[in-house]
Amino acid sequence: MDIVRPAVTATDQGEFSDLVEIAELIRNTSKPIVHRTLSPDRVDAAVEMIFAVAGGEKKFQAKPNFATLYCPISPGYFTPENIHCMLKWAEYGVPITLLSMAMGGASAPATLLGELIVINADILAWMVVLQILFPGTPLLYGSVSAVLDMKTGLLPLGAPERGMINSGAAIMANHYGMRSMCGGLSSDAKELDAQAGFEKVVTAIPLLKEGASIIYGVGATDAGNTISYQQLIFDNEIIAGIRRMWEGITIQDPSEEVELIKKLSPRGNFMSQDHTRKNYHRHWYPEIISRDTYDTWKEKGQSLDQICNLKANEILASHRSARLPAKVEGELERIVRNYIPDFIFKN
């Protein structure tokens, strides 16, 4: 996993939860962050925190480690609050993700082509506006769209069509020479089960195939209504496996392999060869998935869900993020206290 977004909303922090979330993200990860403010009045404070940890505006601009994101209401509408937020972020040159959440059959046509047209129009419209007003603003092309299930009236995020429509968005982003953020690795399953594995894979592979820059959805279950630590652990395994698969077969000078095959044919054993010792580690070895024999697996007596739960608890108990300099941490607290007077970081 390469970037971080909040898994949930800090509703216990009230109106200013967005600032608390940004501060906690900055404090607890060194990875790039994607988040937003819900009010334009808080963009200045968010930017102040981002620049503080980056070492100033110029250092941030040289290597941005934060992007914001806002969603149109398809077809063709942005709320006034979101518009003002985007314009404020653009003043500071912070990368902005225009993230479509079109629903095929509801807020967009039922065909995938028609939905993709709506997605593209919604994003292009604000690309043009932002570039006219703030030329050079870094933008990402985003889509976490899906198609409506007409039998239930719900929006299934594990449907194959979700991978298809968002891979279409990745294709459009590549066409315009833009980075993309696309919804995938999604599931409607309520627990870590075969349905979750199936849906996660079928919504992720099309995005990798079409070169999506960021795949959005790790750890989410129940159509995005639930975050599961166990699922997050297993999603990491899925990502690693798919990435390995996408590396393909390395084409290189085969002379070493050919000579080895000649030497050991027929019926030779390659296990004892130096070539094997040098190269076996290139293959993927899972952390979670069992490759044991049935008897060994049964003796261990742990289900996949239990293994993932243990792994998640181990990480929560042992992980310590690299601490910010005390001066920077104090600056973050000061900024948030302008909105929440008693705010203090918890150890």
- CATH number of the domain to which 205 belongs: 3.20.20.480
Give the closest residue to 32 by CA, choosing from 135, 179, 177, 172: 179
Residues 184 and 215 occupy one common structural domain: yes
Residue ending a domain, choose from 247, 269, 292: 247
Q: Is 329 inside any structural domain?
A: no
Of the chain, the percentage scoring pLDDT greater than 70 comes to 100
Residues 236 and 266 occupy one common structural domain: no
Residues β-bridged to residue 245: none
Predicted local distance difference test score (pLDDT) of residue 319: 86
Residues 218 and 243 occupy one common structural domain: yes
The answer to whether the beta carbons of residues 125 and 76 sit under 8 Å apart is yes
Q: Is 325 inside any structural domain?
A: no
Residues 144 and 278 occupy one common structural domain: no
Residue ending a domain, choose from 247, 271, 290: 247
Range of the domain at 303: 261-318
Predicted local distance difference test score (pLDDT) of residue 322: 79
Residues 227 and 300 occupy one common structural domain: no
Q: Is 26 inside any structural domain?
A: yes
Name the DSSP class of 107.
Answer: T
Phi then psi for residue 264, to 5 deg, are -100, -5
Residues 298 and 241 occupy one common structural domain: no
Positions of the chain with pLDDT under 50: none
Predicted local distance difference test score (pLDDT) of residue 323: 82
Q: Is 332 inside any structural domain?
A: no
pLDDT, tens digit, for every residue of 33-76?
Answer: 999 999 999 999 999 999 999 999 999 999 999 999 999 999 99
The answer to whether the beta carbons of residues 34 and 181 sit under 8 Å apart is yes
Q: Is 32 inside any structural domain?
A: yes
C-alpha torsion 284→288→294→295, nearest 10? 120
The answer to whether the beta carbons of residues 108 and 74 sit under 8 Å apart is yes
Residues 270 and 186 occupy one common structural domain: no
How many domains does the chain contain in total? 2
Predicted local distance difference test score (pLDDT) of residue 7: 84
Please give the model's pTM, rounded to 2 decimal places: 0.90
Predicted local distance difference test score (pLDDT) of residue 290: 94
**CA dist., res. 213 & res. 3, Å (int):** 11
Predicted local distance difference test score (pLDDT) of residue 299: 94
Residues 56 and 137 occupy one common structural domain: yes
Predicted local distance difference test score (pLDDT) of residue 93: 96
Q: Is 323 inside any structural domain?
A: no
Residues 212 and 308 occupy one common structural domain: no
Predicted local distance difference test score (pLDDT) of residue 19: 95
**CA dist., res. 59 & res. 78, Å (int):** 31
Residues 226 and 309 occupy one common structural domain: no
Residues 91 and 16 occupy one common structural domain: yes
Residues 72 and 208 occupy one common structural domain: yes
Give the closest residue to 312 by CA, choosing from 240, 243, 201, 219: 219
Predicted local distance difference test score (pLDDT) of residue 194: 95
Give the closest residue to 124 by CA, choosing from 66, 172, 73: 172
Q: Is 343 inside any structural domain?
A: no
Q: Is 96 inside any structural domain?
A: yes
